[in-house]
Amino acid sequence: MNDLIDMKALLAGVDMFNVSLWLSGLLIVLVLIGVRVAFAAAFIGFIGLCLFFMQKQGFDKGLITAMKLTGQIPHSKSTTYALSLIPTFILIGYLAYYAGLTQFLFEAAKRWVGWLPGGLGVATVFATAGFAAVSGASVATSAVFAKIAIPEMLKLGYDKRFAAGVVAAGGTLASLIPPSAILVIYAIIVEQSVGQLLMAGFLPGAVSALIYAGLIILMAKFRPSLGPSVGGFSWKQRFESLPGTTPIILVVFIIIYSIYFGWATPTEAGALGAFVVLIMALWQGMRWEALKGALMESAKLTAMIFTMIWGVLIYVRYLGFADLPRAFSHWVTSLDQPAMVTLLLILGAYVVLGMFMDAIGMLILTLPVTFPAVIALNGGANVTAEMSTLGMSGQECGIWFGIIVVKMAEICLITPPIGLNCFVVAGVAQDGKMDISVQDVFRGAAPFFVADVVTVGVLIAFPGIVLWLPGLLVS
């Protein structure tokens, strides 16, 4: 069949690598002007595939090949077994929230650590960490504790910016502490072990929570007006608060224990955790309206994440044909500077991107390029720890970089102008008639940016914090 346009001749001298650079730049522009990441990535990926195959096959055949490939990706990827873990993790969090289990968690944390300077802030961080261990969604965690913790802090005379910043930053812990949806997405995109990544996030998440708590204590110690302590709880009252936290502790134990000992795959552990929370919620008297709300919210968030994955994977498929990831890896490894300096530059780029993109969108757009580059920087996928540049084997580097880059994604949740957690906290506060603006939340969250940088530095300096638990899982 004669082509309407002789695309083979027209594109014969075109370098598809340069085209991929221009299209990637156009994708960033589309995202910055407000086009949804899923649709922008799918559009750019489809255009790139069309140009690539038209250069090889001509207009008609190239268009048909590109359309077939674009249509196959959503189906082939949505049937991936590992992806079924995402809705179960999300469902656990929403069931816990709608059943009122989060209120018990906050009350227990308040009674045990409220006596510290800024005690309610510290309690909020520990409660968000506990909820993160059953939620996996940062935005949901921030929204929940904006309703629970901020009114309590304001009643005690806490500075409104400080209170809002604590909640916004505490919500980010859900990105790192398992079960984490974003860690699962990372594992799928870069083809790493989901189980090892989930185990790897536990200790870094705990370290991050402790650094947040330390910052709150220091700030409240030197500026008592930020947040007074809460006293008056007897040991009896403290122990009486523990039974209400049992469902969440049980779910965390089931997920971590079953994965660690190999009794269940991560997907099976997630499903088992959701079932346990459901039984606990029904035991607590959860009504149909609450159950319906949990199911609907889980379905909405799952659909959003899956749509984003589908769109970006079309773009990723095009990048593979254009050979951009390999070329970028070669360029990074050829730089005449220490590997750690190059790594820090890559992480710095994530800080900048995080100011303009949401966490999941930023990762799934950049990982196809940055992940191969970091692995190559370390010495390759098959390198041993003794021969590597960064002191880790290829597999260990993939796990370690996953935790580092997800922590970088956490930072973008509290940095302007996008900072999704800050917008969520402000929205909930305004709905609750609290005098807290978006600007107040961003200002309150600013010190926690420093805390996140410290955490990243600790994880880079001591990679064993990340690799210890996954190492036990392997052995």
**pLDDT reported for residue 356:** 67
| Stretch 372-396: mean pLDDT | 87
Tokens of 428: 């909930």
> DSSP states of 387-453 as a string?
T-SSSS-HHHHHHHHHHHHHHHHHHHTSSTTT-HHHHHHHHHHHHTT----HHHHHHHHHHHHHHHH
Cα 387 versus chain centre, distance: 31
- The answer, yes or no, to whether the previous bond of 368 is cis (omega within 30 of 0) is no
Give whichever of 8-22, 224-238, 295-309, 391-405 has the largest mean pLDDT: 391-405
pLDDT interval class at 331 (50, 70, 90):
confident
pLDDT interval class at 1 (50, 70, 90):
very low
The radius of gyration of the chain from alpha carbons, rounded to an integer in Å, stands at 23
Percent above pLDDT 90 for the chain = 23
Give whichever of 63-67, 99-103, 363-367 has the largest mean pLDDT: 63-67
Stated pTM of the model:
0.81
Interval 282-300: pLDDT, tens? 887 788 888 888 888 888 8
Interval 224-234: pLDDT, tens? 989 888 877 88
pLDDT interval class at 261 (50, 70, 90):
confident
Interval 182-203: pLDDT, tens? 888 888 888 888 888 988 999 9
pLDDT interval class at 73 (50, 70, 90):
confident
Residue in 364, 365, 392 with CA at minimum distance from that of residue 378: 392
pLDDT interval class at 55 (50, 70, 90):
confident
